[in-house]
Amino acid sequence: MVPIQYFIGLSAILFTIGILGVLIRRNAIIIFMSVELMLNSANLAFITFARMYQSLDGQVFVFFVMAVAAAEVAVGLALIVAIFRNKQSIDVDQINSLHG
Amino acid sequence: MWLSEAVSSGPQFFYLVPLVVLFPVIGLLVNTAFGGRMSEKAIGWLASAAAGLSFVVAVLLGISLLSYPEGAVVPIVDWITIGELNINWGFQVDTLSVTMMLVVAGVGTLIHIYSIGYMHDDVRFQGDPGRYQRFFVFMNLFIAMMMILVSADNYLMLFVGWEGVGLCSYLLIGFWYDKGENGIGNAVAGKKAFIANRIGDFGFILAAFIMFWVFGTFEFNAVFELAPEVASLFPAAIVAITLLMLVGVTGKSAQIPLFVWLPDAMAGPTPVSALIHAATMVTAGVYLITRSAALYNLVPQVQNIVALVGAATALFAATIAVGQFDIKKVLAYSTISQLGFMVAAVGMGAYVAGMFHLVTHAFFKALLFLSAGSVILGLEHAHHHMEHNSQLKLPMDENDLHFDPQDMRNMGGLRNRMKISFWVYLIGAIALTGIPPLAGFWSKDEILTDAANFNPLAYWMMLAAAFLTAFYMGRQILMVWFGKPRSLPAEHANESPPIITVPLIILAALAATGGALNLPMWHTFTHWLEDSLGHLHAVEFSLQIAGVSSFLVLAAIFLAWLLYGRKYQAMQELPPDKRPDDPLRPILGPVFTALNHAWWMDELYWTIIINPYVSLAHFLADVVDWRFWHDWFHDTVIVGGYNKLTQVLSIQIDLGVIDAVANKLGDSVKRTAAKWRVIETGYVRNYALSFFIGVVLILGYLILR
């Protein structure tokens, strides 16, 4: 079948792309998407290891992660809407009034 | 306490001895507290009664001594107890101290009574009747202090009395403290007396120190018992003690060189001069030497010095008395001269002669002073009357403005107007000059006999002094009582009232009969004093010496009569510009001026002692204290330095250093903060990057360890 290493590698690549996205992109929604990407990569890693050790614990944990991701997105999008009402923009570089 | 001693010592009256001090003290306290509300008579008689009761107690003590001649020591209180030093106040009742007590209280009482009348007039002449009370308070204080002096049983208690009488002398000389030359003359005289006495006291105190150092005690009996032992081991100590006590005696008893205060002390009222400066206080020195006979007998070389000091003073003062015009000054120098006789006598070891002369001198000198006071009062009264009585307004010349009632040149011919005063004065003068059979002859003759036997130099000096004594007394009698009155007040002077003349008569009787105390046949006084002083050599009467001295006295009186009898009256007839003020002036010339100025002794002392001292005091005060200490040291060094110090502290240190540290600290914190503030960019992505880096580091550490 497909070797396990390819799944782990894919998970790592997806995680890295997610990190880069959080650090580099300015659009708040894109940052959220990147965060989702990171979460999904973690999910992939969980499933891979569940398959490898023939355990269902990893797969159950994926459900937790998805629930958390969904809740987080809800709160995050609410935040973005609130920010947009104030700033008329979702460019995170413009939220710098706490600078020293 | 002393009460238990009374039962054991003797049934007689020794335990009454504290009363000799207590009565005058009560007198003075009552007069001080209530005198303001008492009449003058009450004040005077109370004070006299206090002195009189003191005399009664002294008489009782004398009677007790007839049965118990060894006397007694009556302790009163423990005064000082420090380590080995144990000084108590005790009364020593023996024949010597009782002799002094009788003289002080007896003559003192008579003078108190006299003063009742005298001071009544004197306070009115001087314009301050309110001061009457004060006089009697001070007089009683004097009697109390003198009693403490003569009754003490140790040297320190004697010194308490010694200083006390010095204080009373000062107070009474300066009684009229706002009168005198320039308004302060009397106060200056009082000060002079006190200071001269103080110099003498200094000697006494040093003697007391050495005595304590060597003997360990001040009590008479203890010291005299130890004296022979100390003399063999440490003779220099006895010499030092006796010499230093001599210094004290020259101060208190007005010998050379400290006699200068006594003539000035005549500024005090006449009863003061009589009591303190003739009869009692000045004799304290003689008493001291007599009391210390046991010590003086061990040091013949010091005895010689004492005798010579006494004899020299006798002669010196007698010469000065010849040239004085003030009636009281003549008597003052006469007192110094007679004290010289006494000191010479006790110096030679003739204690009986000295004490005998002390007693007789008290009688006739007090008599002379008091009668002189009567004369002065008479003249003052007459002068007063003439000034204020328009009926008696006689032509007065300009001299009357500054009329001196004490100047003998203003007197003359008073024997017809003041008969009682004349006769008592004459008796006193005859007693003083030493004409038999009056008291002065016996006592002076005893001294001269002792001198001839023991110290020929002193004998010749005292013989010359006796000659001069007769001369100046003759001069005085002739100038005051004989001839014609030389001033208007003298023409109108009247006799004094009985309260003044009765004490005079009593004293005259004593002066006339006092010789009976120690007539050469019976030596009563010698035996009396032997009980205190041990074996005393009784002097045999020497007809030769008595004859020589009597001859000289009569010759002197004859000479005085030649000069001051008719010649003086003839002198008065001359016109004023050709008239010398005294018959002796043309004869003696500059010598007379020297005598009148007391051989310029006061000026000498001013030049060599007082002026340098005053200059030194000024120098120390103005230069050392003000300019150096105050101006330079205080203001420039201390204050200036302190100001500079505070300047440095406040500007350079407080502002410069401390503030700088604080400010720099604050600045450094600000700079650090400014540096670190750049992290707070506000960009979320930067914060996210820092999370990332941190996670990487931590995970890397955790995985790789």
In A, which residues are within 8 Å of B692 by CB distance?
A: 19, 23
For residues A9 and B534, which has the higher predicted lDDT (pLDDT)? A9
In A, which residues are within 8 Å of B681 by CB distance?
A: 96, 99-100
Nearest partner of B585 among B467, B432, B475, judged by Cα: B475
In this predicted structure, what is the pLDDT of residue B434? 85
In this predicted structure, what is the pLDDT of residue B8? 43
Nearest partner of B520 among B499, B538, B496, judged by Cα: B538
What's the rounded Cα separation, in Å, for the pair B290 and B201? 18
> Which residues sit opposite B73 in a β-bridge?
B92
B683/A92 CB distance under 8 A: yes
Instruction: Look at phi and psi of residue B314 and say left if phi exceeds 0, alpha if psi is from -120 to 50, else beta.
Output: alpha
Nearest partner of B98 among B124, B79, B125, B74, judged by Cα: B74
pLDDT in tens, B87-99: 888 899 988 999 9
In this predicted structure, what is the pLDDT of residue B3? 46
Helix-helix angle B327-347:B456-481, to 10 degrees: 160
B674 touches chain A (CB under 8 A): no
Nearest to A22 among B677, B683, B688 (CB): B688
pLDDT at B180 over 50: yes
Section B111-126 average pLDDT: 89
DSSP collapsed to 3 states, B2-28: HHHHHHHHCCCCHHHCHHHHHHHHHHH
In this predicted structure, what is the pLDDT of residue B485? 84
Nearest to A99 among B680, B685, B692 (CB): B680
In B, which residues are within 8 Å of A91 by CB distance?
A: none
Tell me the pLDDT of chain B averaged across its residues: 87
- Alpha helices of B279-326 — where are they, by DSSP H? 284-291, 293-296, 300-322
What's the rounded Cα separation, in Å, for the pair B500 and B307? 38
Query: Does residue A97 lie in a domain region?
Result: no
Contacts of residue B558, defined as CB under 8 A and 6 or more positions apart, other chains included, come to: none
Section B670-690 average pLDDT: 89
Nearest to A23 among B677, B678, B689 (CB): B689
B680 touches chain A (CB under 8 A): yes
In B, which residues are within 8 Å of A95 by CB distance?
A: 682, 684
B-chain residue closest to A100, CA distance:
B680
Q: How confident is the model at residue B67 (pLDDT cuts 50, 70, 90)?
A: confident
Residues in A whose CB is inside 8 Å of some CB of B read: 19, 22-24, 26, 92-93, 95-100
For residues B571 and A35, which has the higher predicted lDDT (pLDDT)? A35
What's the rounded Cα separation, in Å, for the pair B184 and B173? 12
Q: How confident is the model at residue B690 (pLDDT cuts 50, 70, 90)?
A: very high
In B, which residues are within 8 Å of A22 by CB distance?
A: 685, 688
Nearest Cα of chain A lies from the Cα of B685 at a distance, in angstroms, of 6
Q: How confident is the model at residue B11 (pLDDT cuts 50, 70, 90)?
A: low
Q: How confident is the model at residue B395 (pLDDT cuts 50, 70, 90)?
A: low
ipTM: 0.88
In this predicted structure, what is the pLDDT of residue B29? 94
B689 touches chain A (CB under 8 A): yes
pLDDT at A95 over 50: yes
**Integer CA distances (angstroms), B79 to B2, B76, B89, B90, B173, in order:** 14, 9, 6, 10, 31
B392 touches chain A (CB under 8 A): no
B691 touches chain A (CB under 8 A): no
A95/B685 CB distance under 8 A: no
B681/A97 CB distance under 8 A: no
In this predicted structure, what is the pLDDT of residue B391? 57
In this predicted structure, what is the pLDDT of residue B16? 87
pLDDT at B392 over 70: no
Asked whether A60 and A67 are in contact (CB, 8 A), the reply is no
SS3 B640: helix
Nearest Cα of chain A lies from the Cα of B654 at a distance, in angstroms, of 36
pLDDT in tens, B466-487: 999 999 999 999 988 888 888 8
Contacts of residue B81, defined as CB under 8 A and 6 or more positions apart, other chains included, come to: B87
Section B603-628 average pLDDT: 90
SS3 B487: coil
A66: amino acid identity, one letter: M
Please give the DSSP secondary-structure letter assigned to residue B82.
E
CATH of the domain at A50: 1.10.287.3510
In B, which residues are within 8 Å of A98 by CB distance?
A: 680, 682
Tokens of B579: 């008239």
pLDDT in tens, B618-669: 999 988 888 888 888 888 888 999 999 998 888 888 888 888 999 999 999 9
B-chain residue closest to A25, CA distance:
B685
Section B496-505 average pLDDT: 88
pLDDT at B595 over 60: yes
Domain segments of chain B as ranges: 299-389+404-596, 602-672
Cβ neighbours, 10 Å, residue B434 = 26
For residues B703 and B483, which has the higher predicted lDDT (pLDDT)? B703
Tell me the whole-structure pTM to 2 decimals: 0.77
pLDDT at B312 over 90: yes
pLDDT at B206 over 90: yes
What's the rounded Cα separation, in Å, for the pair B577 and B553? 34
Nearest Cα of chain A lies from the Cα of B673 at a distance, in angstroms, of 10
Section B384-401 average pLDDT: 61
Q: How confident is the model at residue B139 (pLDDT cuts 50, 70, 90)?
A: very high
Section B306-329 average pLDDT: 93
pLDDT at B400 over 70: no
B685 touches chain A (CB under 8 A): yes
Give the structural domain span for A81: 4-89
In A, which residues are within 8 Å of B688 by CB distance?
A: 22-23
B-chain residue closest to A99, CA distance:
B682
B679 touches chain A (CB under 8 A): yes
In B, which residues are within 8 Å of A92 by CB distance?
A: 683-685
The total domain count for chain A is: 1
pLDDT at B140 over 90: yes
In this predicted structure, what is the pLDDT of residue B183? 82
DSSP collapsed to 3 states, B246-293: HHHHHHHCCCCCCCCHHHHHHHCCHHHHHHHHHHCHHHHHHHHHHHCH
pLDDT in tens, B236-269: 999 999 999 999 999 999 998 999 999 999 988 9
Q: Which helix (H) or strand (E) holds B567?
A: helix B566-573
A23/B692 CB distance under 8 A: yes
Q: How confident is the model at residue B416 (pLDDT cuts 50, 70, 90)?
A: confident
Nearest partner of B274 among B342, B364, B370, B175, judged by Cα: B370
Q: How confident is the model at residue B393 (pLDDT cuts 50, 70, 90)?
A: low
Contacts of residue B614, defined as CB under 8 A and 6 or more positions apart, other chains included, come to: none
A99/B685 CB distance under 8 A: no
By 3-state DSSP, what share of chain A in percent is helix, strand and coil, each rounded to 5? 80, 0, 15
